[in-house]
Amino acid sequence: MSISEAQKRANVRYQKKNPDVVRRIQYKSRGKNLYP
């Protein structure tokens, strides 16, 4: 899916700014909703 690829690229830019967001993205990728 091109959408997921675009999100990953956007995430890379986000990771540099917000490390906390990275954790949320990683948990979502694993299918674990630790952040409501």
Distance CA 3, CA 34 (A): 23
> How much is the pLDDT for 7?
83
Distances (CA, A) of 3 to 16, 19, 34: 21, 22, 23
Distances (CA, A) of 5 to 17, 32, 36: 19, 20, 24
Q: pTM value?
A: 0.28
> How much is the pLDDT for 30?
59
Q: Convert the pLDDT of each residue in 16-34 to its tens digit.
A: 777 676 677 666 655 555 5
Q: Convert the pLDDT of each residue in 4-19 to its tens digit.
A: 888 888 777 766 777 6
> How much is the pLDDT for 33?
54
Domain count, the chain: 1
> How much is the pLDDT for 32?
56
Structural domain of 16: 1-36
